[in-house]
Amino acid sequence: MRIATTRRLPKPENTVALINVVFLMLIFFLVAGTLAPGPDRDVDFITLAATDPAAPPDMLFVRADGTLTWRGEALPLHDHVGRWQNLQSEASEPHPLRIAADRRLPAIELLEKLDDLRNAGVDQIVLIAERRPQ
């Protein structure tokens, strides 16, 4: 006499939870990637042979016509200096003012802007440039 045994088939794995997690991670990275402000589109970066290409997005831009912009807003020089000084007073360690200048801006005008910033009280200035492709 044979006794019929019923074989239980293993349950298929539920992949819905895995798909949900991957989808949520995708949404998170899409949102997180758009939070940082982009560079000013009217500025064509100065190129140098050896620089660090990782420029922070939160910097002061000098356009080809000499206007100063920060986060897309053109403001007078003393407003930029005041914003930088407020950031310095709130920070635990001093941070330099990062400037990205348009390559079409004459060097004399760039030096004049840097002198104006120094005379207004900015003592730490970093000029951001783009690495030249080889």
Dihedral pair phi/psi, residue 83, rounded to 5°: -65, -45
Place of tokens 């060097």: 107
Residue 36 in domain: no
Give pLDDT tens digits for 63-112: 888 888 887 788 888 888 888 888 778 877 777 888 888 888 888 998 89
Please give the DSSP secondary-structure letter assigned to residue 7.
P
Q: Which residues contact 103 (CB under 8 A, 6 or more apart)?
A: 44, 45, 46, 47
Residue 55 tokens read as 């420029």
Q: Which residues contact 48 (CB under 8 A, 6 or more apart)?
A: 129, 130, 131, 132
Q: What is the pLDDT of residue 55?
A: 46
Residue 97 in domain: yes
Residue 28 in domain: no
Give pLDDT tens digits for 24-48: 999 988 887 766 667 777 777 766 5
Residue 19 in domain: no
Residue 53 in domain: yes
- Residue 69's domain spans which residues? 47-131
Q: Residue 28: exposed, middle, or buried by beta-carbon count in 10 A (0-12, 13-18, 19+)?
A: exposed
Question: What does DSSP say about strands 68-70 and 60-62: parallel, antiparallel, or unpaired?
Answer: antiparallel
Residue 54, pLDDT above cutoff 60 = no
Residue 107 in domain: yes
Give pLDDT tens digits for 106-132: 889 988 988 988 898 888 888 887 766
Q: Is 62 helix (H, G, I), strand (E, B) or coil?
A: strand
Q: What is the pLDDT of residue 51?
A: 46
Tally of domains in the chain: 1
Residue 23 in domain: no
Round to whole Å and give the CA distance between 32 and 2. Answer: 64
CATH number (domain holding residue 75)? 3.30.420
